[in-house]
Amino acid sequence: MKKRLLQAYKQAPWRVQLQWIGLFLLAVVVVATVTGLYLNINAKAAAAGRNVQWLESDIEDITAEISDLTTKLAKAQSTDKMMARAEELGFHLLDPETAVYIEVPGFNPDAEVVLAPPRSKVIIDTPIVQDSYKSSLWDWFVKNIWQVSDGAEGELR
């Protein structure tokens, strides 16, 4: 009698096979979805990393160009070049004994000269990462879903 009862409720073999195939296909779809998301996120991260590398390369190129131009400016402003250029333009050295000095009212020669601060290269070494990129999926779930459901339970009581 017990055997007949089990046989009455036992499903047909083809239905069991369809259930196993369905579960297998569901697992394949879940794995494919997770893999697709993982590859998508990694592709975006790789693209962002490559952009950072290009920008760092541009920074290095511009820094090298600035250094080159600074060197050329220093050579152009050297004493020998400036003296030669001054002579070309018709200037000559002045004898301090024969110079005529003019007094300018309101000018204080002893006052401290205020110059612009020296140029400095400021690069932030630490990357600025938004807080939304620092939280995990679990943190988001707890914050947005779990706490909302806790609030709903309090309203039902």
The pLDDT of residue 7 is above 80: no
Which pLDDT score is estimated for 157? 46
Distances in Å between the Cα of 155 and the Cα atoms of 11, 141, 144, 150, 151 are 45, 21, 17, 9, 7
The pLDDT of residue 11 is above 80: no
Alpha-carbon span 31 to 33, nearest angstrom: 5
Residue 143's pLDDT band (cuts 50, 70, 90): confident
Which amino acid is it at 140?
W
Alpha-carbon span 41 to 140, nearest angstrom: 17
Which pLDDT score is estimated for 152? 55
Alpha-carbon span 48 to 129, nearest angstrom: 13
> Do the beta carbons of residue 62 and residue 123 sit within 8 Å?
no
> Do the beta carbons of residue 48 and residue 54 sit within 8 Å?
no
Residue 153's pLDDT band (cuts 50, 70, 90): low
Which pLDDT score is estimated for 66? 95
Q: What are 19-57's pLDDT values in tens digits?
A: 999 999 999 999 999 999 999 999 999 999 999 999 999
Q: What are 86-139's pLDDT values in tens digits?
A: 999 999 888 888 888 888 898 888 888 888 877 777 666 666 777 767 778 888
Q: How far is CA 155 from the centre of its chain?
A: 44
Alpha-carbon span 74 to 82, nearest angstrom: 11
